């Protein structure tokens, strides 16, 4: 085929429309026109409203994961804040409860100290205050250890009182501490006097293990003793001053087959849980030695005059 007969125009498949530059100019002018028309005449407002309405469900669905993530973060943050606040509130409540219990304990201790001071004013015997440190380690005895010893002038045999009455007697003395045997110990005995009748007797510690009671022994079966009688120290032993409260009668058992009545008593002193006590000097140590009587002058014999 001769070259002159060939068609130089591109086939329809490869034909292109307007050039790229013309398209750029056209669409730029169109965009500028639309912007001016929208700014002046608000032509695109209905279109934007329609598009926004149509796209709102899509936007809502797209925002849900973000909202859930934010809500979950706020939930865990508030939960942690609540737990922290609860722990702080519980800690503060514990401190307040501890302070309240300390206040109650201090009030009780203050009341007992006032009663002990009032008892000190009624007792003319020299005394000094002491504090109970702990109970003795021996489970078969009723003893406590106080914070006063030889260096404080404590001697063996000194009576020990609390705010209610006789608690016991010092049985061992060390340089810094002393051991007090309570009146409820099974090996302890104290002479007592019935304040109602004036009858004397001896109260012994209950032989039962760890029992906080006394027993008034060797009293005749027909003796005048009633429940509620107050027993005080008689002062005949040279240890306890007379008139100190010791116990109250709680039970009187008169047996026909025994010559003695079985009388149970309850100590007035707080034998369990006492904290502050008062140690007296034994009565015998306060008694001054009686001066010896001067020897009777021998009668002078009359001299014989020579």
Q: Give the mean model confidence (pLDDT) for residues 31-41.
A: 79
Determine the length of the chain.
306
Give pLDDT tens digits for 258-301.
888 989 999 999 888 888 898 988 877 665 444 544 544 444 44
Q: What pLDDT sits at residue 290?
A: 45
Select from 210, 223, 208, 211 the least CA-distant residue to 262: 223
Q: Give the mean model confidence (pLDDT) for residues 191-197.
A: 93
- Indicate the pTM of the whole model: 0.58
127-286: CATH number: 2.40.10.340
172 pLDDT more than 60:
yes
Instruction: Please tell me the distance from the alpha carbon of residue 259 to that of residue 185, in angstroms, as a whole number.
Output: 25
> Average pLDDT, whole number, for the chain?
80
Instruction: Encode 139-154: b = buried (16+ Cβ within 10 Å), e = exposed.
Output: eebbbbbbebbeebeb
Q: Give the mean model confidence (pLDDT) for residues 224-242.
A: 90
Q: What pLDDT sits at residue 96?
A: 78
Residue 12 burial by CB count (10 A; 0-12/13-18/19+): exposed, middle or buried?
A: exposed
C-alpha 124, offset from chain centre: 36
Q: Which residue has the higher pLDDT, 76 or 11?
A: 76
Q: Give the mean model confidence (pLDDT) for residues 298-305.
A: 44
């Amino acid at each position: 085929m001769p070259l002159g007969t060939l068609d130089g125009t591109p086939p329809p498949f490869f034909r292109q429309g307007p050039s790229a530059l013309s398209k750029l100019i056209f669409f730029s002018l169109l965009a500028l026109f639309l912007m001016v028309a929208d700014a002046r005449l608000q032509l695109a407002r209905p279109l934007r409203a329609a598009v926004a309405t149509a796209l709102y469900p899509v936007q809502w669905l797209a925002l849900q994961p973000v909202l859930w993530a934010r809500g979950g973060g706020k939930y865990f943050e508030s939960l942690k804040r609540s737990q922290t606040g609860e722990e702080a509130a519980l800690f503060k409540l514990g401190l307040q409860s501890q302070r309240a219990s300390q206040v109650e304990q201090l009030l009780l201790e203050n009341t007992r100290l006032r009663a002990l001071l009032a008892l000190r004013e009624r007792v003319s015997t020299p005394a000094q205050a002491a504090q109970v440190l702990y109970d003795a380690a021996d489970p078969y005895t009723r003893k406590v250890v106080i914070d006063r010893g030889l260096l404080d002038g404590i001697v063996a045999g000194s009576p020990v009182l609390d705010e209610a009455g006789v608690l016991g007697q010092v049985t061992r003395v060390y340089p810094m501490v002393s051991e007090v045997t309570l009146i409820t110990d099974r090996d302890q005995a104290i002479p007592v006097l019935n304040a109602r009748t004036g009858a004397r007797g001896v109260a012994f510690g209950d032989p039962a293990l760890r029992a906080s009671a006394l027993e008034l022994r060797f009293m005749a079966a027909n003796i005048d003793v009633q429940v509620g009688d107050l027993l005080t120290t008689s002062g005949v032993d040279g240890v306890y001053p007379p008139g100190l409260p010791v116990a109250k009668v709680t039970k009187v058992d008169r047996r026909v087959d025994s010559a003695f009545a079985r009388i149970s008593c309850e100590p007035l002193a707080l034998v369990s849980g006492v904290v502050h006590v008062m140690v007296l000097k034994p009565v015998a140590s306060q008694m001054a030695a009686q001066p010896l009587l001067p020897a009777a002058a021998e009668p002078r014999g009359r001299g014989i005059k020579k």
